[in-house]
């Protein structure tokens, strides 16, 4: 038997402090494998513990097979949990550890056959009579999984079960978990901060940030169509290149994206995705380019949809089967809070100075401050501020073009994949071709504009 799980606007608060989980909604089908993915402290383990009944739900509703379950005690939910630190009893043999929950459920019965079948399934039948301290980390995690499986639960809850193991063993056990859960057909909720685990294991991946759900989609869609810049930055290795930019859309002439010292001209006629960028004229945007969206090649080798840039080689990472080339294109990288240290909010400082420090009253400057705060609050209600940018400093004669006195950029801002045999000189300038079909554009608040969001009303692609 397996179960459906539904969470409706579930929140968890500890005292008067900030909520660990805020209005989290997710529905999981019977037999589905869903991964909760996010950085440390984003609330994913708290969600798992609320499903298990180990944490009380502050607000919202948990449904199991369509029935309210907030009031159910953990033992009444029919779930089994695998913890990060194994949580085995050191004074019990592995056989006793696996059989312990069975002994609690039905004391007096002989559970030898079920324990041995479970151990055989996990390949640990030869160590049943040893103690956990006599096993390797991988064997202990198998014992912990065996203890969960032996109960024949309706739901598996796994809280970063592989994070304490070395990389090679993690890869091996990841494949075993995937095969095992599919054979058993049990609904599984798996928590991890490792995107490789999430992408390889999950039927769907739910990305969290700051206690809120950012996106839930199949792994391919999370990578190819991130809903905001945080998801785009968190998924993918190497991380997506995020550059600050401004749309240049003259009434006459070709539309382009200004990266500061270089421009990406958009092909004509404009695609539906690129048409939507026209309304961003003069606004700060974020351009996202994955490392496979650009290649080192001369403009004469451009394919349809590719445009030329250039960059200076700052560093080359040799990976064996490929090389990652770090380039300086003169662009300004965007900062994603929660993944790195945010820069000072110069735009907010300028708005406060314009409003006389109060943000209300004081003429038009105060009105702009109020409107901006309302806009930020509305955006934060959806997903929180997911990007920190400096506002553009437009030239008066050309409102969409950055002023030339911007600070010099010395660090690399673009990472490109190449073959392992390409020889590049550090400090040398190389030509680049960017495939605009794989271009991501996000607005000032980090929401995806391009590729076109699915929920734009009245826009027929």
Q: Convert the pLDDT of each residue in 227-268 to its tens digit.
A: 999 999 999 989 999 999 999 888 788 889 999 899 999 888
What per-residue confidence (pLDDT) applies to 285? 92
Residue the block writes with tokens 């029919």 = 78
Question: Cα–Cα distance between 293 and 241 in angstroms, integer?
Answer: 10
Partners of residue 205 on adjacent β-strands:
35, 217
**Average model confidence (pLDDT) across the chain:** 82
pLDDT surpassing 70 at residue 151: yes
Q: Which residues contact 407 (CB under 8 A, 6 or more apart)?
A: none
> What's the CATH number of domain 5-224, 3.40.50.300, 3.40.190.10, 1.10.357.10, 2.40.30.10?
3.40.50.300
At residue 455 the predicted structure's pLDDT band, cuts being 50, 70 and 90, is: low
pLDDT at 311 over 80: yes
Residue 353 CA to residue 355 CA, distance in Å, equals 5
Q: Where are the beta strands (DSSP E) in 123-186?
A: 155-159
Strand partners, 208: 213
What is the tally of helices (H) and strands (E) in the chain?
Answer: 11, 21
CA 9 → CA 21, 69, 205, 375, 390, distances in Å? 10, 14, 18, 23, 34
Tokens of 41: 């402290």
Instruction: Round to whole Å and give the CA distance between 85 and 99.
Output: 19
Phi, psi of 385 (to 5 degrees): -70, 120
Residue 297 binned pLDDT confidence (cut-offs 50, 70, 90): very high
* pLDDT score, position 369: 53
Question: Exposed, middle or buried, 237 (CB in 10 Å: 0-12/13-18/19+)?
Answer: exposed
Q: What is the DSSP letter of 340?
A: B
N-to-C CA span, the chain: 43
Token pair 């080339």 is found at 325
Q: Which residues pair with 358 in a beta bridge?
A: none
In contact, 296 and 431? CB cutoff 8 Å: yes
More confident residue, 453 or 300: 300
User: Which element (helix H / strand E) includes 9?
Assistant: strand 5-12
85 or 389, greater pLDDT:
85
Lowest mean pLDDT among 216-230, 409-423, 430-444: 409-423
Q: Extract the tokens encoding 142.
A: 């198998």
Q: How far is CA 55 from the centre of its chain?
A: 24
Would you list the DSSP string of 380-449? HHHT----B-PPP-B-SS-TTSB-TTPPPP-S--EEEEE-TT----TT-EEEEEEEGGGEEEE-TTSBEE
Note whether 245 and 286 are within 8 A (CB).
yes
DSSP assignment letter at 151 = T
User: What does the pLDDT read at residue 159?
Assistant: 92
**In this structure, are residues 34 and 188 in contact, taking their beta carbons and an 8 Å threshold?**
yes
d(CA 230, CA 384): 10
Superfamily of domain 229-336+386-450: Nucleic acid-binding proteins (2.40.50.140)
**Does pLDDT of 25 surpass 80?**
yes
Residue 179, pLDDT score: 86
Cβ(285)–Cβ(436) below 8 Å? no
Distance separating alpha carbons of residues 26 and 52, to the nearest angstrom: 15
Comparing 411 with 204, the larger pLDDT belongs to: 204
Confidence of residue 282 (pLDDT cuts 50, 70, 90): confident
Strands (E), 319-372: 323-328
| Mean of pLDDT values over 295-307 | 93
| CA angle centred on 158, ends 156 and 160, rounded to 5° | 170
Tens digit of pLDDT for each residue in 155-178? 999 999 888 778 887 888 888 888
Residue 380 neighbours by CB distance under 10 Å = 14
> For residue 370, what pLDDT band results from cuts at 50, 70 and 90?
low
pLDDT given for residue 181 in this prediction: 86
Task: Say yes or no to pLDDT of 414 above 50.
Answer: yes
Q: Which residues contact 298 (CB under 8 A, 6 or more apart)?
A: 431
Q: Which residue has the tokens 């003259």?
A: 250
Dmax over Cα atoms in the chain, in whole Å? 87
Q: Which residues are CB-contacts of 460 (< 8 A; sequence separation ≥ 6)? A: none
- Does residue 131 contact residue 92 with C-beta atoms inside 8 Å? yes
User: Average pLDDT for residues 341-359, to the nearest whole number?
Assistant: 45
Q: What pLDDT is stored for residue 47 in this prediction? A: 96
pLDDT-based confidence at residue 427 (cuts at 50, 70, 90): very high
pLDDT tens-digit series, residues 35-79: 999 999 899 999 999 999 999 999 999 999 999 999 999 989 989
pLDDT band at 444 (very low <50, low <70, confident <90, very high): confident
Select from 334, 350, 440, 348 the least CA-distant residue to 388.
Answer: 334
Local confidence band at 452 (pLDDT 50, 70, 90 cut-offs): confident
pLDDT of residue 187: 94
Nearest in space to 61 (alpha carbons), one of 11, 10, 25, 20 = 10
Domain ranges of the chain: 5-224, 229-336+386-450
pTM above 0.75, yes or no: yes
Statement: residue 10 has pLDDT above 70: yes
Q: What is the mean pLDDT of residues 423-440?
A: 93
**CA separation for the pair 92, 301 (Å, rounded):** 67
CA–CA distance, 163 with 389 (Å, rounded to integer): 33
> Residue 371 — pLDDT band, cuts 50, 70, 90?
low
Q: Determine the Cα–Cα distance for residues 95 and 106; give it in Å rounded to an integer.
A: 16
Alpha carbons 170 and 156: distance in angstroms, whole number: 18
The contacts of residue 91 (CB under 8 Å, 6+ apart) are 131
């Amino acid at each position: 038997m397996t179960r459906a799980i539904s969470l409706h606007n579930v929140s968890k608060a500890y005292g008067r402090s900030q909520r660990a989980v805020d209005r989290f909604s997710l529905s999981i089908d019977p037999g589905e494998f869903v991964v909760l993915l996010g950085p440390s402290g984003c609330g994913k383990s708290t969600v798992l513990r609320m499903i298990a009944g180990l944490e009380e739900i502050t607000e919202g509703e948990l449904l199991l097979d369509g029935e309210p379950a907030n009031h159910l005690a953990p033992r009444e939910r029919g779930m089994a949990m695998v913890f990060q630190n194994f949580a085995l009893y050191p004074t019990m043999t592995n056989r006793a550890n696996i059989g312990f929950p069975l002994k609690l459920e039905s004391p007096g019965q002989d559970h030898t056959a079920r324990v041995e079948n479970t151990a055989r399934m996990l390949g640990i039948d030869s160590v049943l009579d040893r103690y956990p301290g006599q096993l390797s980390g991988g064997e202990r995690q198998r014992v912990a999984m065996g203890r969960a499986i032996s109960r024949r639960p309706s739901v598996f809850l796994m809280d970063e079960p592989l994070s304490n193991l070395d990389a090679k063993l993690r890869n091996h056990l990841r494949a075993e978990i995937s095969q095992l859960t599919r054979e058993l057909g049990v609904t599984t909720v798996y928590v991890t901060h490792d995107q490789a685990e999430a992408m390889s294991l999950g039927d769907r991946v739910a990305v969290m940030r700051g206690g809120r759900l950012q996106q839930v989609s199949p792994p391919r869609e999370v990578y190819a169509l991130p809903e905001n810049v945080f998801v785009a930055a968190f998924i993918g290795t190497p991380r997506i290149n995020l550059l600050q930019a401004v749309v240049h859309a003259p009434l006459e002439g070709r539309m382009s994206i200004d990266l500061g010292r270089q421009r990406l001209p958009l092909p004509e006629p404009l695609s539906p995705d690129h048409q939507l960028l026209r309304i961003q004229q003069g606004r700060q945007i974020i351009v996202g380019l994955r490392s496979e969206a650009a290649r080192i090649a001369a403009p004469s080798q451009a394919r349809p949809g590719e445009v030329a840039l250039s960059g200076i080689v700052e560093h080359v990472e040799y990976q064996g089967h490929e090389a990652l080339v770090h380039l300086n294109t003169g662009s300004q990288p965007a900062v994603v809070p929660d993944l790195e240290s945010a820069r000072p909010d110069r735009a907010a400082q300028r708005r406060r100075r314009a409003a006389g420090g109060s943000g209300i009253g004081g003429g038009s400057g105060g009105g702009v401050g109020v409107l901006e705060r309302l806009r930020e609050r509305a955006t934060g209600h959806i997903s929180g501020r997911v990007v920190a940018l400096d506002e553009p400093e437009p030239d008066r004669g050309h409102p969409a073009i950055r002023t030339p006195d911007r600070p010099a950029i010395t660090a690399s801002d673009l990472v490109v994949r190449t073959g392992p045999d390409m020889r590049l000189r550090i400090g040398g300038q190389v030509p680049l071709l960017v495939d605009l079909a794989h271009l991501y554009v996000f607005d000032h608040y980090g929401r995806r504009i391009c590729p076109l969001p699915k929920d734009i009303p009245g826009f027929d692609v």
